Amino acid sequence: MSEARLDDDPSTSSGAAPPSTGSGDGTIEVPYLPRKHFRPLHASTKRWMFVCAHRRAGKTVALANQLIRAASLNGRKWPPPRYGYVGPSFEQAKDLVWAYLKQYTEKIPGVRHLEGELACILPNKATIKLYGGAAAYERMRGMYFDGIVLDEYPLLNPAVLSTVVRPCLADYRGFGLVSGTSNGDDHFNHLRLKVEDDPRWDMFIIPLSATGEEALSHAEAIELTQDMSPEEYAREMECSFDAPVEGSYYGEILNKLALQGRITSVPVDLSQPVITAWDLGIHDYCCIWFYQIAGKEIHFIDYIQDNGKGLDHYAHELRLRAKKGGYVFKAHCLPHDVEARELSTGQSRRAFLENELDEPIITAPFANPGDGITAARGLLGLSWFDQVNCRKGLAMLRGYHRNKMGQPVHGPGPHSHGADAYRTFATAFHMVGGLAASQGRGQRLRRKIRGLV
């Protein structure tokens, strides 16, 4: 069988192929044309996949058809191929997924639907079975599977992946697909962080801002921002794992930027120098924003976040990124504590960086947190962010929030450090314009600016 053609709603889609009962070459078509944002998922050849999609993206339909295609293409005769869908409840599996499974397979010649077992048996004897709730997936123990989808993973017991699903896929090296919608910093997010850099996994993050109007109209998206809190909108519609339950300082503004298309691909302008803004940390997190001034706009092109590294590491990383990107730096903005002297050496961190970096060091003036946050919120209105390179930094801004007493929450975790680096940018921004950019690539600019700070 060849790949099935699939569409969310064959009665309303103009691009869907008409249902077919087959052709002479053995091809079977079903009435599904994938939405653009799910085509990379269907094209993936990785064994393990992580999918976070916004509400109403069409995720469940895509997952059902992922199972249909995989089962249809499995040519093993014995034992018969077996696939599973695991949802949080029996009602969800029966009322939603079972309806889709029947809808997209009913025109296949010889297909059988076992209502009592929520199982679909295809002509090649491959079975797709639905499991809903903890008691259901416990019955999977000891069975073999060629592929399993764990849907709405935030609502499932996290042990289902490691203790039930993973052993079931071992016999025939079956695939595993974990999907859901962000619910904040939970076990779904912990899995995301674990597999983010694992080459065995493909990761698909599908926010509303990336799906255009194929899922929801622009007018509906605007209404959602009015009817949901900024934190709810960030989690449910923009796939933010870092949006706090309440009190985000920058969440609402970032939601508006996303709707305006200002969190997008932001190319480096090689005719303009790059400025960095830091929050210092050695044992704690060190965060650095990279930005360019483009007329009345501020373009954030990159972001670094790490911990447990010395300042020499970050100086080396800056040189590597500048060389790779083909740009030069204009200045480096650091928080006021860069002037503090280390007791062990008697040298300030500013003095150390002046020896490591060729460009001027600007010390941002001290500002209380409230004034710094106000300055940062004002400059967010002029900002554009590269959605790939600044992904972690944007998550830090979304996660920066106030406690019940109305005070900024600092730690544990990196959120406050990424936001503090942005605050360094905001409080030092007026000091950058007076500097002359370095003339010529590779030329050391020796002018110091201590008198300005």
- CA-atom Rg of the chain in angstroms: 26
pLDDT of residue 287: 92
Domains, the chain, ordered by start = 36-206 (3.40.50.300), 218-248 (no CATH), 263-452 (3.30.420.280)
Which sign, positive or negative, has the C-alpha torsion 238, 243, 246, 251?
Answer: negative
CA distances 188 to 166, 232, 237, 286, Å, are: 16, 17, 16, 26
What token pair was written down for 12? Answer: 């309303």
**Model confidence band, residue 449 (pLDDT cutoffs 50, 70, 90):** very low
User: 159, 166 in Cβ contact below 8 A?
Assistant: no
pLDDT of residue 196: 84
Nearest residue to 396 via CA among 257, 195, 189, 250: 250
pTM, entire model: 0.58
Indicate the SS3 state at residue 248. strand
Listed in order, strand segments (DSSP E) in 45-126 are 48-53, 82-87, 112-114, 119-121
- Pairing verdict, β 383-386 and 263-264: parallel
Helix, strand, coil share of the chain (percent; to 5): 35, 20, 45
142: left (phi over 0), alpha (psi -120 to 50) or beta: left
Cα gap 63→413, rounded to integer Å: 34
Cα gap 137→127, rounded to integer Å: 16
What token pair was written down for 412? Answer: 């544990």
What token pair was written down for 202? Answer: 């493909």
Per-residue pLDDT tens digits for 12-44: 332 333 333 344 455 777 889 999 999 999 999
Cα gap 291→389, rounded to integer Å: 11
CA angle 428, 434, 440 (to 5 degrees): 110
**Model confidence band, residue 345 (pLDDT cutoffs 50, 70, 90):** low
Per-residue pLDDT tens digits for 301-318: 999 988 778 888 999 999
Average pLDDT of the segment spanning 331-336: 92
Phi, psi of 424 (to 5 degrees): -60, -45
Q: Say whether pLDDT at 412 is over 60.
A: no
